Amino acid sequence: MMQISPEIQLFIREHSSDDVRVLALQAKKYPDIDMPTVITQIAGRKVAAEKIPSWWEIEKIWYPKHLSLEQCSSEITARYKARLLQGDSLTDLTGGFGIDCSFLATGFKSATYVERQEELCEIAAHNFPVLNLNHINIKNEDGVTYLQAMSPVDCLFLDPARRNEHGGKTVAISDCEPNVAELEELLLQKANRVMIKLSPMLDLSLALKELKQTQEVHILSVNNECKELLILLGQTSPAEISIHCVNLFTKGTQKEQHFVFTREQEQCSECTYTDSLETYLYEPNASLLKAGAFRSIAAAYPVRKLHPNSHLYTSDTFIENFPGRIFRIVNQCSFNKKEVKENLADLKKANVTVRNFPATVAELRKRIHLAEGGDTYLFASTLNNGQKVLIRCEKV
């Protein structure tokens, strides 16, 4: 049974900013201190400071070993998920550290956390009351076994384990445990609505082919890094599945970016291509790129696409609410040595991105002698007429 005594709590507080590796080497100095527990808690708090800031503020929260913490959702994505599910009863079949369960549970009268690892259940049993979540029941059981015997609830949540038996990360649904494609029918017998969190590396087309009762897809990015693929299953299959491309921000004052489209809309959307660049360059956010909303974006905003395979857009007027990064074009040139020298000679460093271009970022850096970083952005791409261009920009 996991216990953290007041003495250990005090030690953790006093050493919270210490380097845990150094602390581990000093274990003999503190014979009365359970150093493995201390190390786990201090390391956990450091991760939480960025990943789960509202929990980090609460000293009484207990943390699990690193792997469970690495695999858990961040607070910002957990809060987003909580916006999608509400009702009377919820069951989280893959409880883990309990981040998702704790935030989802706020929208339900009762919730059940199911987890087969005893230590994680003990941590959840301690943390939930600390968070005033006294309506969550804890079941130390295998999720699938529990699912088979449970009474129906309003909503189910699953975050299948995405590691194979050798510890490597897996991305196919069939490689995840449990295999939600095999369980789909049973899941929908037990709940009206089912949310499944999948790897952002998973092929969306493949997921939709395997999960027949998909109603919605939500692709979540945080600070423009794709983090989660959420599939919502329901009792009916819509004619068209809405795909929500979401970019959440934890830094700065940027507002959440949210773009919705369907694959049918994508196929029939009008998209204008261009042989020339205008004043601004637009790069769709990571969720849009993952979803493949390339034509839909061009139809929704007054922009022109550089090329069918160059997922960059341009316009003369500034489109403030474009869901992605916006740049002002400083100049452009071909990959010709003379032009590169004329337009980029003063550049010592830049943030380089390649989109539909016959060279890698590393090759470009070497050829143009550029270090990484700075305030200049260099995009290497191809225009609709096949012309290869280097586009020098500054962020708006």
- In a shared domain, residues 293 and 345: yes
Query: CB neighbours of 333 closer than 8 A, spacing ≥ 6?
Result: 339, 340, 342, 343, 344, 389, 390, 392
Say if residue 248 is in the same domain as residue 281: no
Judge if 241 and 178 occupy the same domain.
yes
- Based on the domain organization, do 273 and 250 belong to the same domain? no
In which domain, by residue range, is 207 found?
74-255
Separation CA 325–CA 319 (nearest Å): 11
* CATH code for the domain in which residue 363 is found: 3.30.2130
Q: What is the DSSP letter of 390?
A: E
Q: What was the pLDDT predicted at 170?
A: 57
What is the pLDDT at residue 275?
A: 97
Model pLDDT, residue 337: 87
Which token pair is 51? 């990943």
Same domain, 228 and 289: no
Residues 234 and 207 occupy one common structural domain: yes
Question: Is 188 inside any structural domain?
Answer: yes
Decide if 184 contacts 233 (C-beta within 8 A).
yes
pLDDT score for 168 = 60
Those residues whose C-beta lies under 8 Å from the C-beta of residue 122, and which sit 6 or more positions away, are: 1, 2
Residue 32 confidence (pLDDT): 86
| Strand pairing class (108-114; 136-139) | parallel
CATH number for the domain spanning 241: value is 3.40.50.150
59 and 82 in a single domain? The answer is no
User: Tokens 């395997």 label which residue?
Assistant: 210
Residue 237 burial by Cβ neighbours in a 10 Å radius (0-12, 13-18, 19+): exposed
The pLDDT, as a whole number, for residue 239 is 92
**How many domains is the chain built from?**
3
Residues 274 and 250 in one domain: no
CA torsion, ordered 377, 266, 73, 282, to nearest 10 deg: 10
- φ/ψ (deg, to 5) at 274: -135, 150
Whether 239 and 298 share a structural domain: no
- pLDDT by residue for the chain (396 residues), tens only, comes to 677 888 888 888 888 888 988 888 888 888 888 898 899 999 999 999 999 999 999 999 999 987 778 888 999 999 999 999 999 999 999 999 999 999 999 999 999 999 999 999 999 999 999 999 999 999 999 999 999 999 999 999 999 987 665 556 657 898 889 999 999 999 999 999 999 999 998 989 999 999 999 999 999 999 999 999 999 999 998 999 999 999 999 988 889 999 999 999 999 999 999 999 999 999 999 999 999 999 999 999 999 999 999 999 999 999 999 999 999 999 999 988 899 988 898 999 999 999 999 999 999 999 898 999 999 999 999 999 999 999 999 999
The residue count for the chain: 396
